Structures are given as structure tokens and as C-alpha cells.
Amino acid sequence: MDGEINIRPARPDDAAAMAAWHEEAFHGLLSARLGRKYLEYHYSGLISSPAGACFVAERAGAMCGFIGGSCAPRAGAAVSVRRLFSLAAALFSGRIGIRELPALLRYKRWFSRVKLPAELESLLVARQSRGRGTGKKLMEALDGFFRARGVTRYCVFNNTSLNTVKFYLRLGFKQTGEYDHGGHRTVCLIK
């Protein structure tokens, strides 16, 4: 795919595509297992919230990547209730097994300990557009959004099965902790 990369703020009508891309790219990870409806709600919330930072990368007028983050991560009763409903729906439909619950709660306790003013929640570049600076440009847009609000430190949780920890290290993040799920790990990176 040729052409300049253009970064623009995400619009409400991007949420459905972002949810679909997320579900496919992060298949098997907890957020994706909560389901497409939850993801669409999540991205719609980020796009409409003043604390939400959501940018889309376009090439030749078509989305080739996006980034989502927030200056108020994991905040809001409505978000928590929605997440709880989505978890219940995932359990009911068998997408998440009831036996996994204790491990999920342990993991939640672990990442809840990281208390920073902002978080990069998701970053995704289409396969055919990778390796051309799109991820870096999206990160710069997120950095700018946070900086304009006085936020200089933020974190990202990265599952090592994605093989992208080095990308974050390359962009100046430092690894500060990791959680062993037994088979794969989640790394906490801070910038």
C-alpha cells in the first residue's frame, strides 16, 4: 500500500472498525474475549471522552492503524459496570471459563497496583503497513495529547505473545514489571 500516512483524531464512526480490528489482532487476549460489543463501547467511550486519546492512521483515505489511550484510565462507574456485564456475557457464552476467574482476579489485582495518570490502552497497525513508521507516528500523536494535558508519564501493558515489547523499548519505554500467566507474560512498560 503506497501513499503518505495521515494521522487524525478518531471519530465516533471509527469505533466499529477499531473494535473489529482489535478483536481479530488480539484474539485470545482478555480484552478481545470480552467481545466485539464491549470493544465497540470501549472505543466509543474513549473517542467521546475529553480524557480519551484516540487517533487513526490513514493511507490513501483508508484506516491503516489506530491508537487509544486515556488520561483517566479505568475510571468511571459506567465503564466498570459495562466491563462486569461483558465478563458475565463472556462467562455465559463460554468465551471465558469459570475456572479462569481466580487467575483473572489475581491478574487484575496486579495491574491495579500500577497507578499512573495515563495509559496507552491499544495500538494496532495493519500488517501490510507495518515497518514504515506508522506506529511511531501514532505514538507521537498520543504523546502530544498527553503532554498538552500536563501528563508526562504513562504506562502500557503488553502481552509478550505479541512480540512487540522491543517496539516500546525502542520508543523510550522502560520495563518495570511483569506478570506470569503460566505460558505467557504481561509486561508493564512506563514512559
Please give the DSSP secondary-structure letter assigned to residue 11: -
CA-based angle 68:133:129, to the nearest 5?
80
What the block records as the C-alpha cell of 37 is 460489543
Kindly write out the interface string for residues 73-112 of this chain, putting x where it contacts ligand COA by CB under 6 A and - elsewhere.
----------------------------------------
Q: Where in 14-33 is the site for ligand COA (CB under 6 A)? A: 25
164 counts as binding ligand COA under rule CB under 6 A = yes
The least distance separating ligand COA from the CB of residue 136, rounded to whole angstroms, comes to 3
122 closest CA partner among 50, 29, 5 = 29
C-beta closer to ligand COA: residue 87 or 124: 124
- DSSP for 28-66? TSHHHHT-HHHHHHHHHHHHHSTTEEEEEEEETTEEEEE
What phi, psi does 43 have (nearest 5°)?
-70, -35
Q: Which one of the spans 34-42, 72-80, 94-102, 132-140 is the region binding ligand COA (CB under 6 A)?
A: 132-140
**C-alpha to C-alpha distances, 63 to 3, 10, 66, 178, nearest whole angstrom:** 12, 10, 8, 32
User: Among 44-52, 85-93, 109-117, 156-164, which window interacts with ligand COA (CB under 6 A)?
Assistant: 156-164
Stretch that binds ligand COA, among 78-86, 99-107, 162-170, 182-190 (CB under 6 A): 162-170
Q: Rounded distance, CA 8 to CA 157, Å?
A: 24
Binding site for ligand COA (CB under 6 A): 25, 122-125, 130-136, 158, 162-164, 166-167, 170
